[in-house]
Amino acid sequence: MRKKYFWAFAMIAGMFFTGLTGCATKEYVHNQIELLSNKNQGLSSEVSAVRTEMEENIGKVWKEVEQNGKELSDLKETVVKQKEEIEKKLTAAEEAIERSKANLKSRKLLYEVTMSDESVFFPYKATELSKDAKLALNVFANVLLAENKDVFIEIQGHTDNVGPKDYNSKLGLSRAETVRNYLYTEHKIPLQRMSIFSYGESKPVVQNNSDKNRSKNRRVVMMVME
């Protein structure tokens, strides 16, 4: 009799504990699933944040690319315009030179006046007129105006061979321009009746083998034509 009750109690107890164990296992699984779900949500948020940041960075890069492209386009347009303007000016200058050459060919040389460094016309490597140079130009202008002729004056600049050719060419032109400006401002000789040109070191009157000879080659020649 006692054995029957014992085994009945044992079966009931076994079913009870089995039920408890099953409940505990379900709760554990549920907790794990919830934990994984939370982790996935956090990871998803991080991925979304990274994606947003990447899209923002890509947007900034494209904006910079577009801005740089516009600046390059504007720069290219500016360069093209400047090139066109320079070409127009060069064409106009070439046409003016050709007209001047044609006018000179049709003119007759009356006389020429040479002023060299030998007579202290210009200080060494300078373009400013010396006191003696101004006096000489005053005499030249007074004679020209007294003759009252419709003449044309070609003012030529010459240098020695000391220094680079390009420098000497510019120096000769600057000296010729200084003479023209003096005749215009001080004696009112019209600019359209004067032209300037530089031969640089290309037409020496003597060899550049001494200081004295080089001073003769540093000169301005005024060709008076009708």
Tens-digit pLDDT string for the chain (226 aa): 544 444 444 554 455 445 445 545 556 555 655 665 665 565 566 667 767 877 777 777 777 777 777 777 777 777 777 777 777 766 765 665 566 555 555 678 889 998 887 665 666 677 788 888 899 999 999 998 988 778 999 999 999 999 899 999 999 999 999 999 999 999 999 999 999 999 999 999 999 999 888 888 888 999 999 8
Question: Architecture of domain 109-225 in CATH?
Answer: 2-Layer Sandwich (3.30)
Amino acid residing at 3: K
Q: Tell me the torsion sign for CA atoms 94, 96, 97, 101.
A: positive
Determine the Cα–Cα distance for residues 212 and 110; give it in Å rounded to an integer: 29
For 168, left (φ over 0), alpha (ψ -120 to 50), or beta? alpha
Backbone angles phi, psi at 115, to 5 degrees: -125, 120
Q: Which residues pair with 153 in a beta bridge?
A: 194, 224
pTM across the whole model: 0.54
Whose CA is closest to 104, among 225, 212, 204?
225
Backbone angles phi, psi at 161, to 5 degrees: -100, 15
Determine the Cα–Cα distance for residues 3 and 120; give it in Å rounded to an integer: 150
**Which residue ranges make up each domain of the chain?**
28-106, 109-225
